[in-house]
Chains A and B, each alone.
Chain A
Amino acid sequence: MQHQGFDEISLYVFLLAGFLGFELIKRVSPLLHTPLMSLTNAISAISVVGAIIIAGSGEANALSKTLGFIAVTAATINLVSGYLITDRMLKMFKKRDGEKR
C-alpha cells in the first residue's frame, strides 16, 4: 500500500522548498523576526495532518491511537497558539499616526 523505495521526487521537492524558503525568509524585515518564528512554528504544526492519519486510521492499534492522540493534541496546541500569538504580535506594530505631529 505504500512504496518503500527511494523517492527521488520527494527529494527534489524538499530541496526546492528549502531554496524557496531561503529566498522568502531573506526578505523578511528583521523587525518581524519574532512573529516570523511563531508563524513558521504554526506552519510546521502541519504535522497534525500525519498525526490525524495515524490516530484515525481504521487499522490503528492501541499504541498508534495513544501516540496519535498525544501527537494531534501537541500539534493542535502549536497550531492554535502559533497563529493566534503571531496575529496578536502583529496587531501591535503600528506606524506613527498623524495626530502626533
Chain B
Amino acid sequence: MAETFVRLSYLLAAVLFVFSLKWMSAPSTARRGVLAGEIGMLVAVVGTLVHHEVVNYQLIFIAFFVGSAIGVPLAYLMPMTAVPQRTALSHAFGGLAVALIGTAKFYQHSPHGFTLVAVVFETLLGFLTFTGSLMAFGKLQEILPTRPIVYRNQNLVNLSILGAALVLGVWLIADPQQTWIFPVFSGLALLFGVLLIIPIGGADMPTVIALLNSYAGLAASAMGFAMDNKLLIIAGALDGSSGFILSVIMCRAMNRSFTNVLFGAFGQLQVSESKVEQKPVRSATPEEAASILESARSVIVVPGYGLAVAQAQHKLRELFDALTRRGVDVKFAIHPVAGRMPGHMNVLLAEADIPYDRLFEMDEINGDFAQADVALVIGANDVTNPAARHDKSSPIYGMPILNTDHARTVMVIKRSMNPGFAGIENELYYMDKTLMLFGDAKSFLTALLRISGTGYATPK
C-alpha cells in the first residue's frame, strides 16, 4: 500500500515537473509553472518520507530546517545583479549532494555491475560540478581573478587528469574490491572541476554557468540510475537538456564553439595592442543629447552589463517613462550575452519596472534599427562592434551583433575611450553618426533627465 503511494507520488511529481517547464515558456504562465514545480517537489518529498526504508526522521528534519534557514535568506536577500553567483553556488550544492550520496552508496551497499557504473558517473559529475561551480562562483563574486589563469600545457594536464579519473573509474567497475580507488578517483574529479574553470575568463561565464547547470542535471540523472529511481532520471534529464540548450545559445551568441570556450582561454590573446592611432570622435553634452532624444520618434536602447554596474537601471526607467510620455517609441534591444548569465539583462530591467513587452531579443529587433532615429548604447560594447561583420582579423569576427550602426544617430554613454572587457577597439565609436556621451551612466542619465526637466514632465 505504502509502496504504491510512493510510486504514484513520483509519477505525479514527474508530470508536474514537465508542466512546470511547459508553463515557463511565457511570462503570463510562468508563475503557475513555479507553483507546479513546488507541488511536484512537495508530493515527491512526502512520498519519500513514507517510504518503507526511511525510518530515521529526526536527522532529516534537522537537515530540512538548516537548509531552509540558509535557503530562504539566500533567495530574498540576493540582489538581482548577484543572481549569477547564486546560481553558480546552487549548482555547487547540487553537485555536492549528488556526489555525497554516490559516496555513501558506494561504501554502504558495495554496488557492482550497472549500478556501480551509475555510481561512478554520479560521483564524477557531482564532484566536478561541485568544485567547478565553486570556482565559477569565486570568479563571478570577484573573490578570484576574473582573468583566465593559464599555464603551459594546461589542456594536456587537464585532459590527463580527466583521463586518469576515467581509467580509475573503469578499473573500479571491473574490480569493485579495490576500494582504495574510490577516494583517489573522487579526488581527481574534484581537482578536474577546479582546473576546468580557472582558464575561463569572465566574458565566458554565461556559457560556463549553463554548462555546469547541464552537468548538475546529468549528475542527478546518474543518481537516478544508481538508485533505480525514474523520477530522478527524468528531472535530471530535463535539467541537463535545459543547461545544454542554454550553453549552445550562449556559444552561438559569441560565435564560439564549446571546445573554444573550455580550452580557448578567451581574453588573454588580445593583450596585443590594437592599432592605437588616434581617430577623431564626436562627443556631445547632456544638453545636446537631450534635445536629440526629444525630437526623436523612435529610440532603441542597447543596455549592457555596464548599466547594472553603474546601478543606472532605475534612471533608465525614468528616461523611458519620460520619453514614452512624450510619445517617443522606446524599445530595448537585448543581446543574448548582455548580462552575466543567460537572460540576466531582462531580469535587471524588469526589476527596474521596465515592461517586458518593450524588451526585444536580438533577432526580433535587428531589422528595426534602420528605422530608428536614435540608438542609445549604455554599458554595452563588443555586441555593438560592426567589426564583427567584416573585419576578419578581429577576435570577435563572426559574432552576431546588434545592428546599432544602422540607426540614424548613435549615442554611446561611456566613461572614457578605454576599450572594453575583451580589449577590442569598437569601430562604432568612430562613425560620423556616432555621438559619444562621456560620463558615468547613472550621472549622465540623471543629467539628461534634469536638463529637459520641465519638457519631459508635461505630456504632449
Contact = CB atoms under 8 A, between A and B. Distances in A.
A42 B48 contact: no
Contact of A72 (B63, B114, B346): B63
A65 B103 CA distance: 12
Contacts, number: 385
A5 B114 contact: yes
A41 B233 contact: no
B25 to A, nearest CB: 4
Contacts of A90: 27, 30-31, 34
B404 interface: no
Contacts of A25: 21, 241-242, 245-246
Interface in A1-48: 2-7, 10, 13-15, 17-22, 24-48
Interface in B25-62: 25-27, 30-31, 33-34, 37-38, 40-41, 44-45, 48-49, 51, 53-57, 59-60, 62
Nearest to A84: B75
A55 B67 CA distance: 15
A26 B22 CA distance: 10
Given A40-B243, A56-B53, A67-B104, A10 B20 contact: no
B56 A57 contact: yes
B256 interface: no
Nearest to A35: B30
A20 B18 contact: yes
Interface size class of A (residues with CB under 8 A): 35 or more
A87 B289 CA distance: 38
A43 to B, nearest CB: 5
Contacts of B91: 41
A3 B342 CA distance: 41
B261 to A, nearest CB: 17
Contacts of A91: 31
Contact of B97 (A24, A39, A63, A74): A74
B53 A53 contact: yes
Interface stretch (B154-162, B275-283, B351-359): B351-359
Contacts of B268: none
Contacts of B426: none
Contacts of B347: 34-35, 89, 92
Which of B10, B104, B351 is packed against the most chain A CB atoms within 10 Å?
B104
Contacts of A38: 83, 86-87, 90
B114 A51 contact: no
Given A44-B217, A74-B67, A33 B59 contact: no
B115 interface: yes
24 contacts: A4-B111, A18-B241, A30-B346, A32-B30, A33-B246, A37-B209, A37-B243, A43-B41, A44-B220, A56-B53, A56-B56, A58-B53, A60-B108, A63-B104, A71-B100, A75-B97, A78-B93, A81-B71, A81-B75, A81-B90, A87-B31, A93-B350, A95-B355, A100-B325
